Structure 1
Amino acid sequence: MYEQENQPANFADIILPVPIPNMFTYEIPSDLMPSIGIGHRVIVQFGQKKVLTGIVGKVHQRPPQDYETKPILEILDDHPVVNPLQIKFWSWMAEYYCCHLGEVMNAALPSGLKLSSESNVQLNPEYDPSLKNYPMDDREIILLEKLKEKSELSYEDCNKLLGLKSAYTIIKSLVIKGAVLVYEQVKEKYSPKIENRIRLSSPYCEDKKELEALFTLLSKRPKQEDILLKYLQEVPIYKQPEANEKGLRKQVFLEAGLSGSSLKTLIGKGVFEEFEIIVSRFEQQPVTQTEIILSDGQQEAFDSIKSQFESKQTTLLHGITGSGKTEIYIKLIQEVMESGSQVLLLLPEIALTTQIVERLQKVFGSEMGVFHSRYSDNERVEVWQGILSGKYSLVVGVRSSIFLPFDSLGLIIVDEEHESSYKQFDPAPRFQARDAAIMLAWLHQAKTLLGSATPSFESYYNCRTDKYGYTSLFQRFGGAELPTYHIADLLADRKKNLLKLDFSRLLREKIQEALNRQEQVLIFQNRRGYSPFISCEECGWTPECEHCDVSLTYHQYSEEMRCHYCGFKDKVPKACPACGSNKLNTVGVGTERLEESLSLLFPEARIARMDLDTTKSKYAYQRIFEEFSGGNVDILVGTQMITKGLDFGNVTVVGIVDADRMLYFPDFRATERTYQQITQVAGRAGRRGKKGEVIIQTRKPDLPIFTQITGHLFHELYLQEMGERKRFFYPPFVKTIKVTVKHKDGRVSERAARHLSNLIKDISLKKIVLGPEKGLIAKLRNQYIYEIYIKVDRTGNIPAIFKSELQKIIFNLGTNKDFRSVRFVVDVDPY
Structure 2
Amino acid sequence: MEGLFSVETTYFADVILPVPIPRMFTYRVPRNFVEDIKVGARVIVEFGKNRVVTAVVGRIHNTPPAKYQAKYILELLDTEPLITKQQLWLFDWIAEYYMCCVGEVMNVAVPSGLKVTSQSRIQLNPDFDHPELLEANEVDFLEILKNQTSLTYDDAIKFVGETNINTLIKSLIGKHAIIMYEEVKEKYKPKIAKKVRLKRVYEGVEEAANLIDSLSKNAKQQLVILEYFKQIPLHQLRERNQHGVDKSFFTQGETSDSSLNKLIEKGILEQFEVVVSRFGDEMPEEPVTIQLTDAQQQASDEILTNFQEKDIVLLHGITGSGKTEIYIDLIQKVLDGGSQVLFLLPEIALTTQIVVRLKRVFGDRMGVYHSKFSDNERVEVWKGVLDGRYQFVVGVRSAVFLPMDNLGLVIVDEEHESSYKQYEPAPRYHARDVGIMLGLKQGAKILLGSATPSLESYHQATTGKYGLVTLNQRYGNAQLPDIRLIDLKAERKAKNMRNDFSSVLCQHIEENLANGEQTIIFQNRRGYSPYLNCQECNWIGECEQCAVSLTYHLNSKELRCHYCGHKEEIPRACPACGSGKIRTVGFGTEKLEDDLRIMYPAARVQRMDLDTTRTKNAYQNIIGEFEQGNTDILVGTQMISKGLDFDRVSLVGIFDADRMIHFPDFRAAERAFQMLTQVSGRAGRREKKGLVLIQTNNTQQSLLHKVIANDYLGYYQDEIKEREGYFYPPFTRIISVTVKHEEHDKAEKASQWLANVLLEKLGKARVLGPEKAMVERVRNKFLYDIVLKLEKDKLNIKAAKVFLQEKIDELMTLREFRGVYVVVDVDAV
Bin of the TM-score, shorter chain as denominator length: over 0.9
User: Quick one: distance in 2 between partners of 1:465 and 1:799?
Assistant: 21
For 1:811-830, what aligned pairs fall within 5 Å after superposition? 811-830=809-828
Task: Determine if the alignment matches structure 1 residue 574 to structure 2 residue 575.
Answer: no
Corresponding residue of 1:283: 280
Corresponding residue of 2:136: 137
- Return the offset for 1:806: 1.1
Corresponding residue of 1:531: 529
CA contact (8 A) 2:38 2:79 kept: no
User: Quick one: distance in 1 between partners of 2:211 and 2:103?
Assistant: 66
SS at match of 2:766: strand
User: Quick one: distance in 2 between partners of 1:797 and 1:259?
Assistant: 77
- Return the offset for 1:209: 5.0
- Return the offset for 1:830: 1.0
CA contact (8 A) 2:94 2:427 kept: yes
CA contact (8 A) 2:532 2:584 kept: yes
The amino acid of 1:750's aligned partner reads: E
Corresponding residue of 2:452: 454
Corresponding residue of 1:685: 683
- Return the offset for 1:516: 2.0
Corresponding residue of 2:724: 726
SS at match of 1:486: strand
Corresponding residue of 2:442: 444
The amino acid of 1:321's aligned partner reads: T
- Return the offset for 1:208: 3.8
Corresponding residue of 2:660: 662
User: Quick one: distance in 1 between partners of 2:756 and 2:4?
Assistant: 45
Q: 1:611 to 1:213 in 2, by over 3 A?
A: closer
Deviations 1:368-420 (A, max 9, x none): 00000000000000000000000001000000000000010011000000001
- Return the offset for 1:5: 11
Q: 1:122 to 1:686 in 2, by over 3 A?
A: same
The amino acid of 2:82's aligned partner reads: V
Corresponding residue of 2:734: 736
SS at match of 2:448: strand
Structure 1: which 5+ runs fail to align?
none
Q: 1:474 to 1:210 in 2, by over 3 A?
A: closer
Corresponding residue of 2:587: 589
Q: Which residue of 253, 258, 261 corresponds with 1:256?
A: 253
Task: Determine if the alignment matches structure 1 residue 801 to structure 2 residue 781.
Answer: no
Task: Determine if the alignment matches structure 1 residue 115 to structure 2 residue 113.
Answer: no
Of stretches 700-709 and 4-13 in structure 1, the one that deviates more from structure 2 is 4-13
User: Quick one: distance in 2 between partners of 1:338 and 1:473?
Assistant: 25
CA contact (8 A) 2:212 2:222 kept: no
Q: Which residue of 374, 389, 392 corresponds with 1:391?
A: 389
Q: 1:646 to 1:607 in 2, by over 3 A?
A: same
Of stretches 40-49 and 288-297 in structure 1, the one that deviates more from structure 2 is 288-297
User: Quick one: distance in 2 between partners of 1:708 and 1:694?
Assistant: 14
Task: Determine if the alignment matches structure 1 residue 474 to structure 2 residue 468.
Answer: no
User: Quick one: distance in 2 between partners of 1:229 and 1:166?
Assistant: 62
The amino acid of 1:262's aligned partner reads: S
Q: 1:108 to 1:166 in 2, by over 3 A?
A: farther
CA contact (8 A) 1:608 1:635 kept: yes
The amino acid of 1:793's aligned partner reads: E
Of stretches 258-267 and 450-459 in structure 1, the one that deviates more from structure 2 is 258-267
- Return the offset for 1:263: 2.2
Corresponding residue of 1:20: 21
Deviations 1:109-145 (A, max 9, x none): 0000111101111111221144x2x23231x222211
Task: Determine if the alignment matches structure 1 residue 244 to structure 2 residue 241.
Answer: yes
Corresponding residue of 2:745: 747
SS at match of 2:644: coil
User: Quick one: distance in 2 between partners of 1:224 and 1:457?
Assistant: 71
Task: Determine if the alignment matches structure 1 residue 490 to structure 2 residue 491.
Answer: no
Deviations 1:291-331 (A, max 9, x none): 32211111111111111111111110000001010010001
The alignment's TM-score, normalised by the length of structure 2, stands at 0.97
User: Quick one: distance in 2 between partners of 1:164 and 1:206?
Assistant: 65
- Return the offset for 1:583: 1.0
Corresponding residue of 2:692: 694
- Return the offset for 1:267: 2.0
Q: Which residue of 404, 407, 412 corresponds with 1:406?
A: 404
CA contact (8 A) 1:741 1:824 kept: yes
Corresponding residue of 2:97: 96
Deviations 1:665-692 (A, max 9, x none): 1211101111100100110111122011
User: Quick one: distance in 2 between partners of 1:3 and 1:669?
Assistant: 49
Corresponding residue of 2:673: 675
Task: Determine if the alignment matches structure 1 residue 52 to structure 2 residue 50.
Answer: no
Corresponding residue of 2:790: 792
Corresponding residue of 2:221: 224
User: Quick one: distance in 1 between partners of 2:184 and 2:562?
Assistant: 36
CA contact (8 A) 1:350 1:398 kept: yes
The amino acid of 1:351's aligned partner reads: A
CA contact (8 A) 1:318 1:455 kept: yes
User: Quick one: distance in 2 between partners of 1:700 and 1:3?
Assistant: 67
- Return the offset for 1:166: 6.9
Q: Which residue of 181, 185, 194 corresponds with 2:179?
A: 181
CA contact (8 A) 2:683 2:692 kept: yes
SS at match of 2:591: helix
Q: 1:323 to 1:165 in 2, by over 3 A?
A: farther
CA contact (8 A) 1:5 1:59 kept: no
Task: Determine if the alignment matches structure 1 residue 234 to structure 2 residue 235.
Answer: no
Q: 1:616 to 1:751 in 2, by over 3 A?
A: same
SS at match of 1:679: helix
CA contact (8 A) 2:204 2:237 kept: no
SS at match of 1:636: strand
SS at match of 2:15: strand
The amino acid of 1:179's aligned partner reads: A
- Return the offset for 1:599: 1.9
Of stretches 346-355 and 289-298 in structure 1, the one that deviates more from structure 2 is 289-298
CA contact (8 A) 1:4 1:59 kept: no
Corresponding residue of 2:433: 435
CA contact (8 A) 1:43 1:52 kept: yes
The alignment's TM-score, normalised by the length of structure 1, stands at 0.97
Q: Which residue of 220, 245, 266 corresponds with 1:269?
A: 266
- Return the offset for 1:694: 0.4
Number of matched residues? 826
- Return the offset for 1:210: 7.4
Of stretches 224-233 and 291-300 in structure 1, the one that deviates more from structure 2 is 224-233
The amino acid of 2:666's aligned partner reads: F
Paired-residue identity, %: 52
- Return the offset for 1:168: 2.5
CA contact (8 A) 1:197 1:277 kept: yes
For 1:754-769, what aligned pairs fall within 5 Å after superposition? 754-764=752-762, 768-769=766-767
- Return the offset for 1:4: 9.4
User: Quick one: distance in 1 between partners of 2:765 and 2:23?
Assistant: 29
CA contact (8 A) 1:44 1:74 kept: yes
Structure 2: which 5+ runs fail to align?
none
- Return the offset for 1:764: 4.8
CA contact (8 A) 1:121 1:183 kept: yes
User: Quick one: distance in 1 between partners of 2:180 and 2:691?
Assistant: 69
User: Quick one: distance in 2 between partners of 1:589 and 1:629?
Assistant: 27
SS at match of 1:183: strand
CA contact (8 A) 1:4 1:58 kept: no
SS at match of 1:434: helix
Deviations 1:338-361 (A, max 9, x none): 111000000000000111001101
* Cα-Cα RMSD: 1.8
Corresponding residue of 1:635: 633
Q: 1:5 to 1:221 in 2, by over 3 A?
A: closer
For 1:235-384, what aligned pairs fall within 5 Å after superposition? 235-287=232-284, 288-384=286-382
The amino acid of 1:500's aligned partner reads: R
Deviations 1:805-824 (A, max 9, x none): 11112122222233332211
CA contact (8 A) 2:2 2:38 kept: no
The amino acid of 1:415's aligned partner reads: D
Q: 1:761 to 1:78 in 2, by over 3 A?
A: same
Q: 1:391 to 1:795 in 2, by over 3 A?
A: same
Corresponding residue of 2:622: 624
CA contact (8 A) 1:548 1:782 kept: yes
